[in-house]
Amino acid sequence: MQDLGQDIIKLEKDEFLPEVQKKRNENWRLGQICCAFVDGTTYEVSYSFCKDLEVVHFRLEVGKDEEVLSISRIYDSAVFYENEMHELFGLNVTNMAVDCQDKLYRIKETTPFVKKEEK
Amino acid sequence: MMCKIITVVAFIILAPFIGGLLDGIDRKLSARMQGRKGPSVLQPFYDLKKLFDKQFLSVNKMQLFMVISYLIFMIVTGAMFFAGMDLLMCFFVLSTVVMFLILASSSTHSPFASIGTHREMMQMMSYEPMVLLTAIGFYLATGSFKVEDIIKMDKPAIIMLPGFFLGFVYILTIKFRKSPFDLSASHHAHQEIVRGITVEMVGPEFALTTLAEWYEYVFLLGIVGLFFVNSNPISYVVAVVVAFAAFFLEILIDNTSARVKWQLMFKLTWIISLVCGGVNLLILEYMR
Amino acid sequence: MNSIHKSPWLLHYDGSSCNGCDIEVLACTTPVYDVERFGVVNTGNPMHADIFLVTGGINTQNAEVVKQIYNQMPNPKVVLAIGTCACTGGVFKECYNIQGGVDTVIPVDIYVPGCAARPESIIDGVVKAVALFKEKSKDGDFVEVDEVPGDEEAETEETVAAVETEGGEE
Amino acid sequence: MENLITVLICAPIVMALIMALVSNDKVRGILTYLFGTVIAGLAVTVAVLWFKKGEVLTFDLPQTEIWDHAILVLEYVLMLVIIYLSVKAKKGIISVLAIVQTCLVTGLELFGPKLVIVRDHMKMDWLSVIMILIIGIVGVGIGIYAVGYMRGYHVHHSEVKDRRAFFFSIMFLFYGAMFGLVTSANLIWLYFFWEVTSVCSFLLIGYTQTEEATNNSFKALWMNLLGGLGIALAIAFAFTFIGSVDLYFIVKIASQYGNQYGLLIPIALLGFAALTKSAQFPFSGWLLGAMVAPTPSSALLHSATMVKAGVYLLVRIAIAMNGNTAGQMIYLAGGFTFFMASVLAISQSDGKKVLAYSTISNLGLIVGCAGIGTKETIWAAAFLIIFHAITKSMMFQCVGAIENSTGSRDIEDMQGLALRYPKLAFILMLGIAGMFLAPFGMLISKWAALKAFVDAPSTIMVLFIAFGSATTMFYWTKWFAKILGIGEKNEKDVTEGNEYFSMFAHAIMLLIAVTSLPIISIKVVEPYVKDVFGSAVPAISESNIWTMVILVSAIFVIPLITYGVARSVKHKDVMAYMGGANTGDNKNFVDAMGEAKELKVSNWYLDDWFGEAKLFKPAMWGGIAIILIFLGIVIGGAL
Amino acid sequence: MSKIMSFTKIALKNLVSKPATTSYPFEPKEYPERTRGHVVLDDDPCILCGMCMRSCPPGAIKVDRAGGTWAINGYDCIQCGYCVEKCPKKCLSIVPGYTEPSSEKTIQTVKVEVPPPPKPAAKPAAPKPAADKAPENKE
Amino acid sequence: MAKRSIVPFGPQHPVLPEPIHLDLVLEDETVVEALPSIGYIHRGLESLVAKKDFNEMAYVTERICGICSFMHGMGYCSTIEKIMGLEVPERANYLRTIWCEMSRLHSHLLWLGLLADAFGFEALFMECWKIREKILDMFEESTGGRVIFSVNKIGGVLKDMPAEMLADFMKRLDGMQKELKKATKVFMNDYTVKSRLEGIGILSKEDAIACGAVGPMMRASGIEVDMRKTGYAAYKDIDFQVITSDRCDSYGRCEVRIGEIFQSIEIIRQAIAQIPDTELSVMAKGFPKGEAFVRFEQPRGEAFYYSRANGTKNLDRMRVRTPTFANLPSLVKILQGAQYGDVPLLVLTIDPCISCTER
Ligand code: SF4
Ligand code: SF4
Ligand code: SF4
Ligand code: SF4
Ligand code: SF4
Ligand code: SF4
Ligand code: SF4
Ligand code: SF4
């Protein structure tokens, strides 16, 4: 775990799911999941968890062809965020509880946030 | 006989105007109760004319045929009433009338019309007992089901039938499609079933339905008046005044309540029919 | 068609607006603006509507919906594009999922600009729309919109070509 | 007349024997038509001959002695049959009922005191004639329908053993028993025919020999045997206390002396027996269970035979129930059943089951009328019997035909039937309209009943009718609405000509009955009422009846005209409104995944409110309570 | 504590008092001074620098330096006022009064004469019409 | 013998001013399955960061939604302010607070009206919207817009509200409070209204957390979380209690929002009393570089703003997680087993704003 300031905590992929599970056990809410595609190579995925007024952000860095494990089996409400990331960014999220097959927004363009050539 | 024919003809010709005007007054008063200026009282007539002028689209031709039958039988019902015929028969024909409306709407296989249809049936099931009881009440009070005999009594029927009157005014809220029982064909746009039973009625078809509703207004208010009419000519004035008062009350109720769900409507209506109608009925039968 | 003059019933559909224009459309029906003064009824049902108010731009998904509603409305009918988004796509026109204004899918009769369009402006638009009914006849120009009109020129040609024969199964 | 009646009763029985031996399908068909025509002809002849005189006729059959003995023997045969069948099915306990009653009746007959008053065994009056016509025409119609139907049935249901010879045989036997039942004045004879119908219905219900069918048939058997026990007890009572087993005599003195000397007890017991046969709560279960049988048998049980035997008996004894506790028991049971069955019908989607509940409900109304026992109610009851028999028979046949063509009798599968099978849909719609719409016959009769109840006065019955009519309307309307919707055209109609013949014959009969209602009233029903009560008034004024008749024509003419108008109107076809999610036809919409999904529109069944799980038990207990309380009062009052 | 028809008082009060409805369009509406209706150009100070064009979020403004015109599509402008904020010459302002609804999306074009920086203007500029008074309508 | 119907609910449906679609599977009128689908409004405006500079984005974000437009502008500006380390002047903070609360007022009134409309109480809808117009007037007088205000900029606000204006507003709010008391009583006490709200759409405390509910939806399930308590803008100086309800049903949600209406007026009162006299904005120099999360409380609940800047005029990424997006799972939850007649009502009780959900 590496603190990036701004309460953003960088996690390695293997410590990720256990950490999330821990949050769930401690009754934290899932605040949001946000994906950003930076430098044409990596996805930065931020997971925010809230409890009362507190918030922590977990940060995963994912290579553009790598996979991320879904947390939708821990937090049901992650389904919407993860499908959105898949549809708009092309991020490979595996093991989603509900897979909308890129039909969440039903847009014409594929992965508009990541241009074809870049990907 | 002549007199009867004149009344019937007058009903057939005047009822749409009275009904439309009532509708206009309703819209005006509702608007004012909501702090708005509202449309002109003649607005319903403008609407009707417009609807007749519109292009006719149809999902299923069967619907138009049902709608026309609906209108004609509605007129027949009213005419029978104003001709002084048997009240119970009027009510029986009235339910046939509603049947046509239901068939018109259900013939389209449209999801919202379908839910509207079922709610209409539910409404019918809710108010029907009270409607029948009302006719029976008149019979017990006057010894006849015939409207022509009822109006020849020396005393207004209301003296004997206060419970029936209450019950009838109560179900008028359903029949007039007013909140809290405006379930099947919302006169206000923002309803979960869109326009419910009238959702697929386009232009002229919708105009015919509206026209039938106006006839129904007059017929139903006629029954409200019947509680007061007797051999005394002044009673006619009283009847008209009471009919208007009842109409105003319906508008007020409409504007001061939320639309309830059918479950509550059904429960309340049956309970009220049973209490108002049943108790009054019991008393009348014991008085005989 | 002067009868619509006094009884223009409208249908509002929210394309992909930000709600700003929608709530202004709705505000028009509420006490302060009360468009029912002019006989306007907010029907919510395309089959009953004369005027189609569209707010917001057109995106992939709602293009079909807008066309369908338009086709379901009986003639004569007019279309109002309410708000800058509906007129041109507005601030969102460069978004990947916005095709542009309402006129990219159905013919628009009146543009009501503004972000958000003011109730007064919407009232003006409706008044102008009502005036248009005089020119539109009942059966004459029934247009069934199937294809997304391409450029402006093609659009008019296509719509003329798509005039429907009337009369159902006769 | 004596001979004619003998033939009327015996001919079907002989035919039944012949049918049992015919195994060839063609021959059977021809024989059925032939025999059916003969029976119908006989029934009509009897009616016409009787009407020439137009007065009550009491007589004995030729060789009454032989008949008496034969019946005695046959009663034992019947008992043995029941014992054999029930033991075979490991339901031996049921045979106890049969043994007790048979021994009771035969014992009294053989060793009991001598009867004081002995009269003729047979009697014919207007009511008998109505019943004969119903059995002869409606019943035979069903038989003709059955020829085609059973052929189709065995094609679809290859798992069911083909026992058609047996089936037709029982059917003919049924006719004979029914003819006997409605002409007997001697309670013992009546009791015998009654038992025969019970056994016949038991055999018909168990036709398919599936487990369900067997269970249901035994349910029908024990309930009807319980009714038989009621008659047996009534006979025993009449034997020992009144000294007569003449039904008319018992009724007459009971109506004169009321509950003195315990005269009401046989009446109450007969009433109780009738309740079981006409499937009133708590005995409705058997009729519902009877649905497992092939459609013709349901139609037969529901319209012309069986259940009508119950109400027939009630109408017979009605005058003795006017204004006493026996009457109260009957009309409460009837009113309660009318209401509860119509409520329960709402939750049903199986077409036949809806019809079954509707039958129970309508019978409830007739039972209620009989229980009140005034002139007006009897007038209404007579018409209810007529209209119900014709309409129900027609509807059962129609649903059966629909099931053969579409493979389902579920109401939900009848979406758009009017376009798919216009002829069947027409029949069905006519039936439905006939069941509850103004101005058809059932409604006129119901109206008369309502008025009679108000005059009676019986607040509780008025309330039952007012509320029950509302629920009736609900279940019919939704069915009606389903038929008229949009549907796929051009499906294959496998209904055979003979089925259509029977159905259209019924339809025509229904229309004739409705339009000639005033004539029937004057010529048949009013004389009957006058005969029983000494004077007669139709329950609704003649002018109203005529208005109704005019309305009936209107209800056909106006839609015809408007249909013409509607057809000629210029219109444009559009899609139904689906919130902009229509995919281009009226059947699919764009679903949450962006794909086409089929739209489904189903009726409401309100299980949470009116489901069998919720209401059937209470209805049973309600029925039991009414019967126990009032039987107690009647018997207690006499002691 | 449930009541039925508890809205009655308000409804009846509304019924007898004056409705809240404005009389627009029969009487003109008076707008507060801050109302953002539409953008006007005072063409005098404008230097056709194009800053407004570049900053406008929907791209409603077209500045044609060569042609000497400044044009705004009133049907595209979202009245955000960013151009007003960004104009170096403060020659834009946003004033009450919305662009009228119409059946055409007209673009208002204003001819702007910019004195060529190297030499003084050849001709003295005639009095320019204000943008909203005499717009040149172009599709 | 219940039979199923499948009904497409929306996207064009009069009871929902915004397009969403539900596949409803019904038995009679009972919802046995509800599948929501969105995307009818999806524009993809987050991608505009690549085309508009970070200052222009303030105007784009305002138009994420026309209901709490102000808060969107403010939320976005705060992320940039945070990245650039700008100290927003106090007066601007107070003005923002006042406008925020006015937004909440108008939004909650709008919601109350629509709720009334959803349960078929037209007069009550009209009453709420009639009162709401007064706030819109105040908005127009202070910002020049009725629904979109364009007064936020990075580093502060663009327009001031002079003392006389504030005093005048306060007076009007006091008047409004009286009218509101009468109108909201109807929501809380009327028999027919209560029959539509009580016990409808139960979301237990545990479910609320599991579904990630936010805002009044969450507070009506008895969870005391309100981002205003984190003290952004001027909330740090304001004294207020978080309003919650333990009813967990639609009535509770209505109760919470009605409570917040009066609370908003109180907050405005406090803010006007304490507002300091400072500059309205600070200049932002250069281009932002870095990333920031900001959370704040919109009328519909907690919203997240995230910006990632790379030192050019265009941001790398800007993201909004709006409250409705977070409340969708709760909606799916409460729709199960509901009555068809309650569907619009339940959709409304999360106070949906699809426009911001889909962006
Ligand atoms: S439906 Fe909602 S609340 Fe229920 S488990 Fe799923 S996400 Fe959680
Ligand atoms: S024009 Fe403006 S207010 Fe209207 S929808 Fe578009 S962005 Fe929203
Ligand atoms: S300096 Fe530029 S903007 Fe100012 S008046 Fe001269 S030309 Fe116009
Ligand atoms: S209006 Fe201002 S910003 Fe625009 S071109 Fe002229 S001077 Fe430049
Ligand atoms: S001074 Fe301003 S307007 Fe001129 S070029 Fe520079 S940025 Fe553009
Ligand atoms: S106000 Fe905004 S949208 Fe309008 S022209 Fe200026 S910058 Fe462009
Ligand atoms: S936010 Fe959505 S639900 Fe609320 S009023 Fe606007 S469009 Fe309707
Ligand atoms: S939550 Fe909805 S209403 Fe609030 S600002 Fe966002 S978009 Fe607007």
Sequence-distant (≥ 6) Cβ neighbours of residue D306 within 8 angstroms: D174, D197, D201, D277, D300
Closest CA to D172 of D23, D39, D306: D39
Q: What is the pLDDT of residue B269?
A: 92
Question: ipTM score of the complex?
Answer: 0.85
Please give the Cα distance from C145 to C64 (Å, whole number): 10
Q: CB–CB of F347/B195 below 8 Å?
A: no
Closest CA to F43 of F347, F348, F329, F320: F320
Q: Say whether pLDDT at E137 is over 70.
A: no
Alpha helices in D569-639 (DSSP H): 607-610, 612-638
Q: What is the mean pLDDT of residues C77-81?
A: 87
Task: Judge if the beta carbon of residue F357 lies within 6 A of ligand 8.
Answer: no
Please say whether the dihedral angle defined by the alpha carbons of residues C90, C95, C98 and C103, taken in this order, is positive or negative: positive
Residues of F in contact with B179 (CB under 8 A): 120-122, 192
Please give the Cα distance from D190 to D184 (Å, whole number): 6
How far, in Å, from the CA of E43 to the mean position of ligand 3?
8
Sequence-distant (≥ 6) Cβ neighbours of residue B162 within 8 angstroms: B280
* Residue E78 at interface with chain F, using a CB cutoff of 8 Å: yes
Which ligand places an atom closest to the C-alpha of E50?
Answer: 4
Q: What is the pLDDT of residue B219?
A: 92
* pLDDT-based confidence at residue E127 (cuts at 50, 70, 90): very low
* pLDDT-based confidence at residue D490 (cuts at 50, 70, 90): low
> For the ranges A105-114, D403-412, D466-475, which has the lowest average pLDDT?
A105-114
Mutate to test the interface with D, among F3, F24, F26, F347 (most CBs of D within 10 A): F3
Cross-chain residue pair C124–E103, CB shorter than 8 Å: no
How far, in Å, from the CA of F66 to the mean position of ligand 8?
7
* Residue C7 at interface with chain A, using a CB cutoff of 8 Å: no
Please give the Cα distance from D132 to D124 (Å, whole number): 10
CA atoms within 13 A on the CB side of F198: 11
Please give the Cα distance from D594 to D581 (Å, whole number): 10
Helix (H) or strand (E) holding C99: strand C98-100
Q: What is the pLDDT of residue A115?
A: 63
Please give the Cα distance from C17 to F353 (Å, whole number): 11
Q: What is the pLDDT of residues F234-265, one digit of tens each?
A: 888 888 888 888 888 888 888 899 999 998 89
Collapse the DSSP code of C108 into the 3-class scheme (helix H, G, I; strand E, B; otherwise coil) and give the result.
coil
Residues of F in contact with D594 (CB under 8 A): 37
Mutate to test the interface with B, among C30, C36, C130, C166 (most CBs of B within 10 A): C36
Q: What is the pLDDT of residue E116?
A: 62
Q: What is the pLDDT of residue A102?
A: 66
* Residue C48 at interface with chain B, using a CB cutoff of 8 Å: yes
**Tokens representing residue D578 in the block:** 């689906």
Q: How far is C98 from chain E (nearest CA, A)?
A: 13
DSSP D383-400: HHHHHHHHHHHHHHHHHH
Mutate to test the interface with D, among C48, C64, C142, C163 (most CBs of D within 10 A): C64
Cα dist from D12 to B269, D34, D43, whole Å: 53, 12, 11
Interface of D with C (CB under 8 A): 570-575, 577, 580-582, 590
> For the ranges D535-544, F71-80, F109-118, F230-239, which has the lowest average pLDDT?
D535-544
Q: Say whether pLDDT at D584 is over 80.
A: no
Q: What is the pLDDT of residues B194-246, one digit of tens each?
A: 777 887 788 788 888 899 999 999 999 999 998 888 888 888 888 899 999 99
Q: CB–CB of F260/F46 below 8 Å?
A: no
Q: Tell me the domain boundaries of chain D.
A: 2-569+602-638
Q: What amino acid is encoded at C39 in this protein? A: G
Please give the Cα distance from D237 to D85 (Å, whole number): 30
Closest CA to D566 of B198, B205, B217: B205
Sequence-distant (≥ 6) Cβ neighbours of residue C153 within 8 angstroms: none
* pLDDT-based confidence at residue B190 (cuts at 50, 70, 90): low
- Atom 7 (ligand 4) nearest CA: E46
Q: What is the mean pLDDT of residues D443-457?
A: 81
**Tokens representing residue D354 in the block:** 């809806």
Buried b (16+ CB within 10 A) or exposed e, B19-29: bbbbbbbbbbb
Q: What is the pLDDT of residues D185-200, one digit of tens each?
A: 888 888 888 888 888 8
How far, in Å, from the CA of E57 to the mean position of ligand 6?
7
Which ligand places an atom closest to the C-alpha of C83?
Answer: 2
* Residue F347 at interface with chain B, using a CB cutoff of 8 Å: no
Sequence-distant (≥ 6) Cβ neighbours of residue F104 within 8 angstroms: F68, F260, F261, F264, F298, F299
DSSP chain A: -EE-STTEEE--HHHHHHHHHHHHHTTPEEEEEEEEEETTTEEEEEEEEEETTEEEEEEEEEETT-EEE--TTT-TTHHHHHHHHHHHH--EEES-SS--TT-SS--SSSSTTS-TTT-
> Mean of the per-residue pLDDT values for chain D?
83
Mutate to test the interface with A, among C61, C62, C97 (most CBs of A within 10 A): C97
The listed range with the strongest mean pLDDT (C157-161, F42-46, F186-190) is F186-190
Residues of A in contact with F213 (CB under 8 A): 29
Q: What is the pLDDT of residue B271?
A: 92
Q: Strands E38-41 and D596-598: what pairing?
A: unpaired
Sequence-distant (≥ 6) Cβ neighbours of residue F164 within 8 angstroms: none
Q: What is the pLDDT of residue E126?
A: 43
End-to-end Cα, chain B, rounded Å = 32
How far, in Å, from the CA of E78 to the mean position of ligand 2?
8
Going through chain B in order, the beta strands assigned E by DSSP cover 57-58
Our separate counts of H helices and E strands in chain D read 27, 5
Q: What is the pLDDT of residues A49-96, one digit of tens each?
A: 888 778 888 888 877 777 777 777 777 777 778 777 777 777 777 777
> For the ranges D77-81, D116-120, D331-335, F93-97, which has the lowest average pLDDT?
D116-120
Q: How far is C41 from chain F (nearest CA, A)?
A: 12
Please give the Cα distance from A86 to A78 (Å, whole number): 12
Sheet holding F21-27, edge to edge: F4-9, F21-27, F30-37
Q: How many residues does chain C have?
A: 170
Please give the Cα distance from B48 to B56 (Å, whole number): 14
Residue, of C152 and F333, whose pLDDT is higher: F333
Q: What is the pLDDT of residue B215?
A: 92
Question: Locate tokens 């329950």: which residue?
Answer: D539
- Atom 2 (ligand 6) nearest CA: E80
Q: Could you check whether the bond before residue D12 is cis, i.e. omega within 30 degrees of 0?
A: no
Collapse the DSSP code of D283 into the 3-class scheme (helix H, G, I; strand E, B; otherwise coil) and give the result.
coil
Q: Say whether pLDDT at D2 is over 80.
A: no
Q: CB–CB of C105/C149 below 8 Å?
A: yes
Which residue in C30, C44, C138 is closest to B53 by CB distance? C138
Cross-chain residue pair B49–C37, CB shorter than 8 Å: no
What percentage of chain B has pLDDT greater than the value 90? 13
Residues of F in contact with A32 (CB under 8 A): 304, 319, 321, 326
Q: What is the mean pLDDT of residues F316-333?
A: 83
Q: What is the mean pLDDT of residues F165-179?
A: 87
Q: What is the pLDDT of residue C152?
A: 37
* Residue C136 at interface with chain E, using a CB cutoff of 8 Å: no
- Atom 6 (ligand 8) nearest CA: F356
Collapse the DSSP code of D339 into the 3-class scheme (helix H, G, I; strand E, B; otherwise coil) and give the result.
helix
Q: How many residues does chain B have?
A: 288
Q: How far is E126 from chain F (nearest CA, A)?
A: 34
* Residue B61 at interface with chain C, using a CB cutoff of 8 Å: yes
Cross-chain residue pair B188–F122, CB shorter than 8 Å: yes
Q: What amino acid is encoded at F281 in this protein? A: S
- Atom 1 (ligand 1) nearest CA: F333
Task: Please give the distance of CA A85 from its chain centroid, rounded to a whole number.
Answer: 7
Q: CB–CB of D192/D67 below 8 Å?
A: no
Task: Judge if the beta carbon of residue F67 lies within 6 A of ligand 7.
Answer: yes
Question: Locate tokens 């609407």: which residue?
Answer: B47
Q: What is the pLDDT of residues D279-323, one digit of tens each?
A: 888 888 888 888 888 888 888 888 777 888 888 988 888 888 887
How far, in Å, from the CA of E87 to the mean position of ligand 3?
11
Q: How many residues does chain F have?
A: 359
Q: What is the pLDDT of residues E6-49, one digit of tens each?
A: 788 887 888 888 877 777 777 777 787 787 888 888 877 888 88
Cross-chain residue pair C47–B49, CB shorter than 8 Å: no
CA atoms within 13 A on the CB side of D447: 28
Q: Say whether pLDDT at A2 is over 70.
A: no
Q: CB–CB of C110/C78 below 8 Å?
A: yes
pTM of the predicted protein model: 0.87
Collapse the DSSP code of C46 into the 3-class scheme (helix H, G, I; strand E, B; otherwise coil) and give the result.
helix
What number does the ligand 5 atom closest to the CA of E49 have? 3
Q: CB–CB of D367/D376 below 8 Å?
A: no
Q: Could you check whether the bond before residue B180 is cis, i.e. omega within 30 degrees of 0?
A: yes
**Tokens representing residue F246 in the block:** 């333990």
Please say whether the dihedral angle defined by the alpha carbons of residues D611, D617, D620 and D626, taken in this order, is positive or negative: negative
Q: CB–CB of B266/B124 below 8 Å?
A: no
Our separate counts of H helices and E strands in chain F read 12, 8
Regarding chains C and D, contact by 3 or more CB pairs under 8 A is answered as yes
Cross-chain residue pair F56–E55, CB shorter than 8 Å: yes
